[in-house]
Homo-oligomer: A and B are copies of this chain.
Amino acid sequence: MTMRPPADLGMPVDQIDTPALLIDLDAFERNLKRMADAAAAAGVRLRPHAKTHKSPTIALKQVALGAVGVCCQKVSEAEILVAGGIADVLVSNQIVGMPKLRRLAALARQARISTCVDDVVHVDGLELAASEAGAQIEVLVEVNMGGNRCGVEPGEPALALAQRIAKSKHLRFAGLQAYHGSAQHKRTAAERNAEIAQAADRARRTRDLLVQHGLPCPAITGAGTGTFMLEAASGIWTELQCGSYVFMDVDYARNLDDDGKPYQRFEHALFVLSTVMSRPADDRAVCDAGHKASSVDSGFPVVAGHDEAEYVRAADEHGLIRLKRPTNRLRIGDRIRLIPGHCDPTVNLHDWYVGVRADRVEALWPVAARGALL
């Protein structure tokens, strides 16, 4: 059920079939290096989030540039990453149910595996599975950084869980999962500064309480593409989990930097290549990429290089483009590059990355963990 790739290696870009998930390899490699350099300069570890790209190929490139390993959200993603050669994987999520726990414990005999808990139910399940498998699993206590999703509250609740982990024979207390997801997309630098300052206070209080009770935190891990410079400079976080920086998307590009200008630390490196399939009216074009090709959960894609063209409506297999002024550049058969509204779920809709450089197809990489839900 893996679909055919939309291109062959060496093919000119204008022969790629559409819709296709394109990586501009030059921009992508610059993004990889910029983040690696930023983490190194700040003296923090980098553990990129592989839920963005779902690709051991890309994860290995991140590790080659200094990343200590990767994160992911599902046990099935971790299986694919370990099988693809990644030796250190954090499942930055709560894992529930013996089938998944047993698979995680089996994986912990092949690689360094860590995961998160916010309840004793998770700790006891992990201990049982690790004990059955004769494995050791590293466990982080997830602390609510203010995003109000998962995570125990800072301080005493985190201490109680950490003590439970420390007492579990086959688990090792590895520190705090301190990710503030909703801060990533606050539009102004001032808002993001305030959110991360508050999160830093939560993480610091919890860390200090644990140290007082003889439980030092080897890792305080979190941060995303929107805020990582703040966590890196805080003196609290030891590890960054940024994911989207490899590709950038429309949503992250809406963030404003300290100077009030759009956030330009990373370049758009991911595109959905699409073909104009209908031009039913002068002010309207329809392309072959709808929301089964480019996810709309964080807004519509943007048509790169065509400021006269606005993607205004998505159906399953149609993208409706309004033309603000007459153009002869968007005829039936013409190609456009869409910058996805949100890169992670867009990647998850495709089976193949088509890596392009100098107008040629240089790479075809499977989206190996596409659809890895379990």
Contacts and interface: CB of A to CB of B under 8 A. Distances in A.
A209 interface: no
A189 B97 CA distance: 45
B277 A93 contact: yes
Interface stretch (A256-264, A279-287, A355-363): A279-287
A119 interface: yes
A19 B97 CA distance: 12
Contact of A181 (B76, B315, B344, B374): B315
A95 B317 CA distance: 12
Contact of A3 (B4, B99, B151, B372): B372
Contacts of A94: 277-278, 286, 332
A62 B52 CA distance: 38
Contact of A374 (B6, B149, B332): B6
A215 B243 CA distance: 57
Q: Contact residue range for chain A?
A: 35 or more
Contact of A4 (B149, B296, B374): B374
A144 B297 contact: no
A249 interface: no
24 contacts: A3-B373, A3-B374, A17-B374, A19-B373, A20-B373, A94-B286, A96-B275, A118-B278, A144-B280, A148-B280, A148-B284, A150-B280, A150-B318, A292-B344, A292-B345, A292-B348, A292-B373, A296-B297, A297-B314, A316-B345, A349-B349, A349-B371, A349-B373, A350-B371
4 nearest CB pairs, A to B = A73-B317, A150-B278, A1-B2, A94-B277
